[in-house]
Structure formats: C-alpha cells, structure tokens
C-alpha cells in the first residue's frame, strides 16, 4: 500500500542513479569514440564480439572450470535450501487450509486454445501463415498467462487475477513493459549477455513495436506462477519459522550501486551483476523507506514469499527458454521469430538442455523474480496503485 508520508523524489532518485552509474563508469573505462559500450543504444541489443582494443581486458573463454565450479556450489546450496530446508534451520509452519476447488473458468479454455495455436505457428512456421508467424510470440504468451490464471482460479476456490482484479492485470502489463525495457538497458553494460539476431524478419519500426508488446507478458507470467505455487499451502509452510535475517536497507542499496559499477569495469567476471545489482538497489530502497515487501518476512523467519517468487520465475524461465529454442530449431528455416534471443555468457557457457540458455544460467531467473516483485511495489508507491499481487478477492 502507498505511504503518503514518503516523497516521490526519494523513491525516484535511486532509480535514476541506477541508470546513471553504468553510463558514468563506462565513460571512464571504454575506448570507443563515444566512451560507451559498443552497440550501446542499438535496439534490440545485438551481438558484440569481444575486442580488447576498446576495452582493457582479454576476451574470456566460454568455459573456465574454477568459475563454473564456484557458480555450481552456489546453485547446489540453493537447491538444498529448497529440497531440505531443515538443514538451514527452518522448522516449518502450520499450512493454511486449502481452498475448495472450483471449476475451470471459460478463459482457461480460451487461453489454452490461443496458446496452442500460436505455439504451433511459431514452431512449425507453415507457409500459409507466413505473414502472421512473426507476431506469434506475444499472443502465445498471453494465451499461456490466461490459461495459467484459469488454473489458479480452479485451485484457489474461484479467485484469481482475472476474476478478482482484472484491472490490476492491465496495470501489471504496463509495469512489465517499462520494467523489462529498463532491465534491457543494463544488458548493454555486460556486453550484450543476451541479444536478438533475427532483426531481418520485420522492418525495424515494426520490430520495436513487437518487442514492446512482448515485454507486457513478463511480470504477469511470473505473478501467475507465484499465485499458483501459493495454492499448495503445505509447500509454502516449509519455508516458515526459519533463520531471522533483518536486511539493512542503506547498505543493501550501496551494495547494489557497487555491483552496478563493478559489472561495467569487469563485464565478464561480474556478468551476473545485471541480475543482482538492480535487485539489491530496489530491496534497499524499499527497506530504507519501510515499504512493505516480501523481504520483510525474512526478519521474522518467513522466507516463503521470497523463495516462492524466485521459484515462480525460474519455472517461467524454463518455459521462456523452451519456446524460444523451438522457434529456431526443428526446422531451422524459415527464420520468422523476431523475438528469438541467444546468449553470450563467459566461463559457464556449457551444458544445454534444448535451450539457448546454459544450465547454470537458469538460476539468474531467481534473483530476477525478486526484482520483478520489488519493481512492481516501487511502481505502486510512485504511481499510486495497489501493488498487492495476491490472487485472493479484495476484502
């Protein structure tokens, strides 16, 4: 909920600083004519080959065992936390009483049909639909989101975003558009860790429009997964009554700014900073102003909101990568998906499971899930809308 005592400027300036810091640091480290990263401002971001002449570091290998093992250790700890929370001191809580199941709503079926049709279109690329295929990504994803909302409705006793907060779904889509656009901006400073090679499919102006529409799907999809996970009350209860961690807002904010500066100076070693830095800044900002967020629960041992939003995002990430990969393989021609993306990640670019994303890279989705929720709360405070993402009916 909005706090009228907090000035809007105190919420806005750290986000402006979040954007300015990478630019300012770039001006000090790059040898390009404009002193900014190569490819900066080209939208959507394109592949940039490593060139030591414009940056004072050697080109990194795609695989470096020590770095890979360090990431793998972090991943194994995260997996252990989810699978065996008692090892980390979680005693668990009393699960809420599950809601009585409802029937599937009509939009579940509509969303499923839309999803399947455009999925088929994007993967099979039939010549008879050649003019429509380049636009398949966004309706496919909105069909999936609507279908997922129908599953939440059934499991949550007849309550979901679409049934209880339809206007909030629209707000969420708008926040998603600007949220991912802002996040995409940081990709320039890690040497385009992800990029979009299929720019020849549509005219550039139309490509930009197609991308902006696709950005509306990110936040709604993550929040639908989160609400679906919450329909399993026993699962959420596993991560209650655990270690009490009181996150200091000021130092977290500074840490986020430091990561953003560091990833510009060391874009290969700190490539993961693009996922961590903005998240830390938003966590610190909300904590400093005592704005309610999922991080608050950690202070009393309730990690469920944080762990569930992280899990929601990685689950959605598997779908993102699965559909993305299939849009350019089996067969590889014709090229028809302008939204298709690839990665250029150093040190851990190995082990692929029908995906352009390397296996360990999926875990970047987990901090991104926290960022998504924090950004949504921040937007609610700045623009004055209710940022409660619960699928339950308003009381």
DSSP of 352-368: -SSSSS-GGGGGGHHHH
Q: Which of 28-37, 129-138, 142-151 has the lowest mean pLDDT?
A: 28-37
Tell me the pLDDT tens digit for each residue of 27-54: 999 988 999 999 999 999 999 988 877 7
Q: Is residue 19 scored above 70 in pLDDT?
A: yes
What is the four-CA torsion angle of 167, 311, 371, 48, rounded to 10 degrees?
Answer: -110
Mean pLDDT for 108-135 is 96
Tell me the CB-side half-sphere exposure of residue 36, using CA atoms within 13 A.
15
Mean pLDDT for the stretch of residues 254-269: 96
| CB of 387 closer than 8 Å to CB of 380 | yes
* Residue of 116, 312, 320, 367 whose CA lies nearest to 215: 320
Across 139-182, the runs of DSSP E, i.e. the strands, are none
Instruction: Provide mean pLDDT across the span 280-291.
Output: 97
Q: What integer pLDDT is reported at residue 395 of this predicted model?
A: 59
- Indicate if the pLDDT at residue 56 is higher than 60: no
Q: Determine contact, residues 318/362, Cβ cutoff 8 Å.
A: yes
User: For a pLDDT cut of 70, what percent of the chain falls above it?
Assistant: 98
Average pLDDT along the chain: 94
Torsion region of 39: left, alpha or beta (phi above 0 gives left; psi -120 to 50 gives alpha): left
Beta bridge partners of 343: 194
Euclidean distance between CA atoms 102 and 39, whole angstroms? 51
Instruction: Flag whether pLDDT at 219 surpasses 90.
Output: yes
Nearest one of 122, 119, 187 to 147, comparing CA atoms: 119
Dihedral angle computed from the Cα positions of residues 98, 81, 377 and 234, in that order, rounded to the nearest 10 degrees: 0
Span 230-257, average pLDDT: 97
Tokens found for residue 325: 């990969």
Q: Which residues have CB under 8 Å from 118's CB, separation 6+?
A: 136, 137, 139, 140, 143
CA atoms of 116 and 122, how far apart (whole Å)? 10
Instruction: Please give the Cα distance from 98 to 180 (Å, whole number).
Output: 34
Confidence at residue 6, expressed as pLDDT on a 0 to 100 scale: 83
Is the pLDDT reported for residue 17 higher than 60?
Answer: yes
In this prediction, residues 170-179 reach a mean pLDDT of: 97
How much is the average pLDDT of 352-374? 96
> What was the pLDDT predicted at 180?
97
Structure tokens at 169: 């779904």
The reported pLDDT for the residue numbered 192 is: 87
The count of C-alpha atoms lying within 13 angstroms of the C-alpha of 112, restricted to the half-sphere facing its C-beta, is 8
pLDDT at residue 317 in the model: 97
Task: Say how many C-beta atoms besides its own lie within 10 A of residue 201's C-beta.
Answer: 17
**Nearest alpha-carbon partner for 314 in 350, 349, 376, 364:** 364
42-46, 57-61, 225-229, 241-245: least confident range: 57-61
Instruction: Specify the higher pLDDT residue, 98 or 18.
Output: 18
Averaged pLDDT, 79-99: 95
How far is Cα 247 from Cα 228, in angstroms, rounded to an integer? 27
Q: What is the pLDDT of residue 99?
A: 87
Structural contact between residues 355 and 194, judged by C-beta atoms closer than 8 angstroms: no
In the chain, % of residues over pLDDT 90 = 89
| pTM for this entry | 0.96
Q: pLDDT tens-digit profile of 297-354?
A: 999 999 999 999 999 999 999 999 999 999 998 777 889 999 999 999 999 999 998 8
72 pLDDT higher than 60? yes
């Amino acid at each position: 909920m909005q706090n009228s005592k907090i000035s809007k400027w105190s919420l806005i300036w750290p986000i402006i600083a979040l954007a300015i810091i990478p630019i300012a640091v770039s001006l000090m480290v790059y040898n390009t004519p404009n002193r900014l990263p190569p490819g900066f401002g080209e939208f959507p971001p394109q592949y940039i080959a490593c060139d030591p002449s414009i940056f004072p570091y050697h080109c990194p290998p795609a695989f470096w065992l020590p770095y890979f093992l360090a990431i793998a250790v972090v991943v194994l700890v995260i997996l252990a936390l989810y699978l065996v929370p008692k090892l980390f001191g979680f005693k668990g809580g009393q699960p809420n009483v599950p809601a009585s199941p409802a029937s599937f709503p009509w939009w579940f079926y509509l969303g499923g049909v839309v999803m399947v049709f455009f999925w088929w279109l994007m993967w099979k690329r039939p010549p008879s639909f050649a003019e429509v295929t380049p636009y398949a990504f966004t309706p496919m994803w909105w069909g999936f989101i609507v279908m997922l909302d129908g599953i939440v409705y059934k499991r949550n006793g007849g309550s979901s975003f679409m049934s209880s907060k339809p206007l909030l779904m629209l707000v969420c889509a708008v926040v998603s558009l600007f949220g991912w656009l802002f996040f995409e901006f940081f990709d320039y400073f890690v040497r385009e860790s992800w990029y979009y090679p299929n720019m020849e499919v549509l005219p550039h102006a139309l490509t930009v429009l197609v991308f902006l529409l696709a950005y509306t799907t990110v936040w709604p999809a993550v929040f639908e997964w989160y609400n679906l996970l919450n329909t399993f009350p026993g699962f959420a209860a596993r991560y209650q009554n655990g270690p009490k961690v009181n996150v200091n807002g000021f130092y977290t904010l500074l840490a986020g700014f430091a990561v953003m500066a560091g990833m510009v100076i060391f874009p290969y070693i700190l490539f993961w900073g693009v996922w961590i830095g903005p998240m830390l800044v938003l966590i610190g900002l909300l904590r400093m102003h005592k704005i309610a967020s999922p991080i608050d629960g950690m202070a009393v041992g309730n990690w469920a909101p944080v762990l569930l939003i992280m899990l929601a995002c990685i689950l959605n990430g598997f779908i993102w990568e699965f559909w993305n990969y299939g849009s350019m393989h089996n067969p590889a021609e014709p090229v028809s998906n302008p939204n298709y993306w690839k990665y250029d990640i150093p040190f851990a670019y190995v082990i692929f499971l029908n995906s352009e994303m390397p296996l360990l890279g999926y875990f970047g989705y987990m901090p991104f899930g926290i960022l998504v929720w924090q950004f949504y709360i921040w937007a609610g405070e700045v623009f004055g809308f209710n940022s409660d993402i619960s699928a339950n009916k308003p009381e």
